[in-house]
Structure 1
Amino acid sequence: METNAGRGIVISWEDLPAPIRAYLPAHQARDTEAAISVFAADAAVTDEGRTYYRFALEGALITRLVIEP
């Protein structure tokens, strides 16, 4: 990890947590099933100030997170 004055903290791909490294390619591929699979059963996601739990990720939220750029 390094600091870049113009961009803040720059993190290398290898420094990202494994779930993030799994989620990002699924997001880019718009693969909803693969994106959902990286979340643990007790996962929580905060998006635009609202927190969603794993069971809620099966529906519209994860589809929106995966499909929208």
Structure 2
Amino acid sequence: MTDKNIRPDYYRHGTVDVIAVLYLLFGDTARVFLVGNIIKYIVRYRDKNGMEDLIKARTYLDRLIEEEGKQK
């Protein structure tokens, strides 16, 4: 799995990235979206999509790390 798992084409309008827009509109509070998705995918992975959900959680965690690095 790649970053496409959380940035599929249908979440874009041209080159606009939804998570980037959240950070633009809501600043640091946009991290709640990322953290919430990390928790969601970790909690449900055994009962829903298994490895796919763990990979999605990791992808959101990587994005959170990327965004936090930009804030410093």
Q: What's the TM-score once normalised by structure 1's chain length? A: 0.27
Greater RCO (Cα-Cα under 8 Å, separation 6 or more): 2
Identify the structure with the greater helix proportion. 2
Identify the structure with the greater strand proportion. 1
| Greater C-alpha Rg | 1
Q: What's the TM-score once normalised by structure 2's chain length? A: 0.26
